[in-house]
Amino acid sequence: MTEKKGKSKFDTVIFDFDGTIMDTNNIIIDSWQHTFRTIEGRERPVEEIIGTFGEPLGETMARLLPGHETQVALDIYRSYHRDSFKERITIFPGMMEVLSEIKKRGYKTGLVTSRLAVTTAQGLSKYDLWQYFDAVVTMEDCKKHKPDPEPLEITLKKLCSKPEKSIMLGDTMHDITCAKNAGVESVLVGWAIAVKKDEIKSGNGPDHIIEKADDLLEILEG
């Protein structure tokens, strides 16, 4: 492990998965539309689907399809999602290089996601990303989910890290609020599609915003 450059106030970097490291936006939207077509015989506005990004899937299903059995809807969604997930996901530009550089500089790293472990593993394996994470926490590891701090607190415990020495990168307000609730500094990625401008400017907005992946390195060493 190499020495960190400069005198960073951080020793731990936590990442969200969907929409942050991995571009899963289209497969998520298509999986929802497939579910709506199957159950309701129609599609819904894409904006409605994007507004659910970052939420645990089961909770969203129960809210959006209250007159239908949630487990049936989940099975429809996950069957479609599973069949094409690995082939359709891509890693965001520059993220692979940033993950590699962060590990070279000696930071502890974690991944926190509301996604199931099986598809998280598929995404990490496709791009050989396991090597860049010291801890991975998925939906099955938690009783509560973002924006509750529990997933992040579990990750920090696994890493033996302190909140004040940690920073979390995400693409939704669930990620940002989760970080704030855990006492962790937050970074919103500029390629996020589920965050509105008024949310960013509010008092509950992110501590930092980056427009490209390697901007994170400047924050870490700033």
Active site residue 171: no
Give me the catalytic one of 11, 16, 23, 75. Answer: 16
Four-residue CA torsion sign, 217, 120, 172, 192:
positive
10 Å CB burial of residue 141 (0-12, 13-18, 19+) is: middle
Instruction: Report the SS3 class of residue 135.
Output: strand
Q: What span, in angstroms and rounded, lies between the C-alpha atoms of 188 and 221?
A: 17
CA neighbours within 13 Å on the CB side: how many for 73?
Answer: 21
Which residues are catalytically annotated?
A: 16
